[in-house]
Amino acid sequence: MKILHLYSNWKWTGPAEHALNLSRELQRQGHTVVFACAPPPPEAPDSLAARARQAGIDPILRFYLSKHFALRKNVVDLPRLCRFVQQERFDIVHTHLHNDHLLAGMAVRLTGSRSAVVRTLYEGAGVSEGLRTRLLLGAMTDGLITISERTREQVIGRRYLSARKVWKIDVPIDLERFHPDRVQSNRSRYNLSEEAVVGGIVARVQRHRRFEVLLQALEMVIREFPNFRFMIIGRGTAMQDIAVKPAQAMGIRPNIIFTGYVQEEFPQTLACLNFKVFLVPGSDGSCRAVREALALRIPVIASERGILPELVTNGVDGLIIEDTPEALARAMLFMIEHPDRRCMMAENARQKALRLFDLEQQTKKVAAVYETVARRACSSVFQRMP
């Protein structure tokens, strides 16, 4: 099949990584893939375009592909995209964000192209209601891929699309990069013994990520286990006010290790943990950090928010809790005090990752969606012919 992936942003984010990995694997499986994204500003230290080139994909940068609706840029992009779609005769145009979905849907409909428009929705907790959602899904979508069952059921229940046009497919990760038998933890860098039970969180240090709940829970845990250590893996401009100073005021700063975030060393740092905490999904609704922890054989304590109850099975590969300090403290104490149960959850976590997050297998599911919607699109074009 000939597939165009449109991504209306230049930044390297969780959804951008998935779009690129999917494109690369589709190519490996024999499909012809064209990848178009927004051109990065000259001063950008990192970008989706640069990552694409590193992956062996030469990105198309001829469109503005603004992340948000921008009338002037869209007016320029639309006729260019119409010509591009007509010339290249794609079977599938796969979109990932709202504005590229709008542009692709309009281009395909205006040109009468036989291309089918597929959209991946990265919202784990459901889509926002409104005219834009009804327009994009109802009038400009031949196939929709959701990353959670909750979102799939919402889309169908609100009649944005019929069930025959909606599929739930898990977001895969690099299982080799996060292979527990091949990643050597860097505990020695942080003066952590191999016997120590270490917890941690991976998140941008931002106010809405509920670090106040985490610190209050840690205060309770450290009262019971004064030598317990906890790693905060992430960065944020307000880290001092949100985490460092409050921890000092509570007297628990010596128990907390602030690692920052170094991408090249991230698997080794994550591998230091015996269990991971995740309270609030960030901008990446797929909660990639949870998937990576599970792949590394690390059980996860997660809140009931968003997609998290679908990713973590309570008592099997982690614990699902209310995001209160008391509930979080109880869950962390359980992980510390029950090593056999924790190890069982860890093994179940890896097995879940192998079953659900394999890039090759999940890409085959996406290709099967392409075949279905392309066949339907061709039939629709023929039915409209005189």
List, for residues 83-112, the tens digit of each pLDDT value: 999 999 999 999 999 999 999 999 999 999
**285-334 pLDDT tens trace:** 888 999 999 999 999 999 998 899 999 999 999 999 998 999 999 999 99
Asked whether residue 180 is domain-assigned, the answer is: no
Shared domain for 260 and 319, answered yes or no, is: yes
Shared domain for 216 and 329, answered yes or no, is: yes
Position 201 scores a pLDDT of: 93
Segments forming the whole domain that contains residue 284: 187-356
The CATH number of the domain holding residue 216 is 3.40.50.2000
Give the chain's largest Cα–Cα span: 79
Confidence category of residue 164, pLDDT binned at 50, 70, 90? very high
Asked whether residue 182 is domain-assigned, the answer is: no
Q: Which of 180, 177, 202 is nearest to 289 (CA)?
A: 202
In the chain, how many domains are there?
2
Position 383 scores a pLDDT of: 46
Shared domain for 214 and 276, answered yes or no, is: yes
User: Order of strands, edge to edge, in the sheet holding 143-146?
Assistant: 32-37, 2-7, 92-95, 116-121, 143-146, 166-168
Q: Encoding tokens for residue 99? A: 């504005």
**331-368 pLDDT tens trace:** 999 999 999 999 999 999 999 999 999 999 999 999 99
Percent residues over pLDDT 90 in the chain: 82
Asked whether residue 244 is domain-assigned, the answer is: yes
Shared domain for 235 and 350, answered yes or no, is: yes
Shared domain for 260 and 132, answered yes or no, is: no
Shared domain for 219 and 125, answered yes or no, is: no
pLDDT at 203 over 90: no
Q: 3-class DSSP state for residue 65?
A: coil
Distance CA 123, CA 128 (A): 9
Shared domain for 145 and 205, answered yes or no, is: no
Shared domain for 138 and 232, answered yes or no, is: no
Asked whether residue 177 is domain-assigned, the answer is: no
Shared domain for 164 and 200, answered yes or no, is: no
Q: Which of 280, 329, 239, 233 is nearest to 247 (CA)?
A: 239
Asked whether residue 265 is domain-assigned, the answer is: yes
Shared domain for 239 and 218, answered yes or no, is: yes
Q: Mean pLDDT score of the chain, rounded to an integer? A: 93
Shared domain for 55 and 34, answered yes or no, is: yes
Asked whether residue 335 is domain-assigned, the answer is: yes
Q: Are 143 and 114 in contact (CB under 8 A)?
A: no
Q: Which residue has the higher pLDDT, 85 or 385?
A: 85
pLDDT at 382 over 50: no
Shared domain for 209 and 121, answered yes or no, is: no
Query: How many CB atoms are located within 10 Å of the residue 166 CB?
Result: 21
